[in-house]
Amino acid sequence: MNSTLIQKLTDSYHNNSLFIKREDLLPFSLGGNKSRKAEFFFGEMMCGKYDSVVTYGSISSNHCRVISNKANVTGMDCYIISPSEKENMTLNRKMMLFLGAKMIYCDVNNVKQTIDNCMDALRKEGKNPYFIQGGGHGNLGTAAYVECFDEIVEFEKVNNFKFDYIFHASGTGTTQAGLICGKLINNKDTNIVGISIARKNPYGGSVVNESVKEYMKQVNCTPTLFETANFIDKYVLEGYGSSNEYIINTIETVFCKYGIPLDSTYTGKAFWGMEEYIKENMLFNKNLLFLHTGGTPLFFDMLNIK
Ligand SMILES: *Cc1c(COP(=O)(O)O)cnc(C)c1O
């Protein structure tokens, strides 16, 4: 895969240099980290005799949009299990429907059972379904972000330069786990700061740590120093999808100043969290990289509401 763009935004971001890596510009299905992960899942699927794919996600899930699209490309039936929500329609959900994904709605407390039932029913029909965890969680999702970290290392090499910090929106923690594994494998000392968009500690951070361990075990790598994830849960507000005026201001500023769309659920929340973190920890004279994890359709949803 071609590396995504790393661009410098400014040399004067609270007295630091700020760069951004544009995962939102990945070429498939409006990009984002789910697009990078999907390549890995479908790569594995193409090696087996699968004819359908089952996954899980909310009404605003970028993951489910990308999987629906990829299923189309590869000629697989796509089943999306989703909690029945009273929330407004989103562009991601419209795209899932447009792409012909079969929606199965269930109660939030009944997800696992619904997934099992769906897989069983398909198998009884003689189908061979492939299951992807919500958000593309798991070793293959982690592998995708080891690859992304490699791209960052390559950029540093070519430019004879070093990032001190990488900030990004952390959800299931797979993106963060991949970056940490990449760091361990490459023997780097980059600070990786995951700004939680929903989960609280200790659960949120422990999921990242578990994912790191699992992946390192699979690739047979024993790092000399194990890293505990820096999973910051201070900016989740009232949880998934919740927002405030500071986040909205951040989104406006970044779009007006740099022409880059952020959203209030993931990247806008993380960008705001990064700003707070920089002030609080008095970071100074550092090279900062913000990983733009995508979610562009959510930017348009926000414009629609405003
Ligand atoms: C899913 C998602 C995340 C979170 O990624 P995880 O690997 O689940 O932590 C961040 N940003 C965007 C735009 C996403 O869609």
Confidence of residue 270 (pLDDT cuts 50, 70, 90): very high
Q: Please choose, from the candidates 32, 123, 22, 117, the residue with its C-alpha nearest in 3D space to the C-alpha of residue 69.
A: 32
What residues are in contact with ligand 1 under a 6 Å CB criterion? 32-34, 62-63, 135, 169-176, 266-267, 293-295
Q: What is the pLDDT of residue 2?
A: 75
Q: What is the pLDDT of residue 306?
A: 63
Instruction: Please tell me the distance from the alpha carbon of residue 178 to that of residue 196, in angstroms, as a whole number.
Output: 15
- With contact defined as beta carbons under 8 Å apart, do 43 and 136 qualify? no
**Residues 115-143: what's their mean pLDDT?**
96
**Residues 176-192: what's their mean pLDDT?**
96
Please check the confidence at residue 223 and state whether its pLDDT lies above 80.
Answer: no
Q: Ligand 1 center to residue 137 CA distance, Å?
A: 10
Atom of ligand 1 nearest to the CA of 24: 13
Place of tokens 């789910």: 34
Phi-psi region of 194 (alpha: psi -120 to 50; beta: other; left: phi over 0): beta
Mutate to test the pocket of ligand 1, among 251, 293, 299 (most ligand atoms within 8 A of CB): 293
Q: Looking at this protein, which amino acid is placed at residue 143? A: A
Neighbours of 206 (CB within 10 A): 15
**Residues 285-302: what's their mean pLDDT?**
97
* E strands in the chain: 6-13, 16-22, 52-56, 77-83, 102-106, 129-132, 165-170, 191-196, 230-232, 287-292
User: Average pLDDT over the chain, rounded to whole?
Assistant: 95
Report H helices in 75-202.
Answer: 91-98, 111-124, 139-159, 174-186
Instruction: Please tell me the distance from the alpha carbon of residue 196 to that of residue 172, in angstroms, as a whole number.
Output: 9
228 CB contacts (<8 Å, ≥6 apart)? 205, 209
Atom of ligand 1 nearest to the CA of 194: 9
**Residues 33-44: what's their mean pLDDT?**
97
Instruction: Please tell me the distance from the alpha carbon of residue 187 to that of residue 132, in angstroms, as a whole number.
Output: 30
pLDDT in tens, 41-85: 999 999 999 999 999 999 999 999 999 999 999 999 999 999 987
Q: Ligand 1 center to residue 61 CA distance, Å?
A: 9
Q: In what order do the strands lie in the sheet with 16-22?
A: 6-13, 16-22, 287-292, 165-170, 191-196, 230-232
Atom of ligand 1 nearest to the CA of 141: 7
Q: Ligand 1 center to residue 135 CA distance, Å?
A: 7
Percent of the chain with pLDDT over 70: 99
**Residues 282-302: what's their mean pLDDT?**
97
Q: Ligand 1 center to residue 6 CA distance, Å?
A: 19
Mutate to test the pocket of ligand 1, among 20, 41, 95, 197 (most ligand atoms within 8 A of CB): 197
Please check the confidence at residue 87 and state whether its pLDDT lies above 90.
Answer: no
Mutate to test the pocket of ligand 1, among 33, 208, 212, 296 (most ligand atoms within 8 A of CB): 33
- With contact defined as beta carbons under 8 Å apart, do 193 and 165 qualify? yes
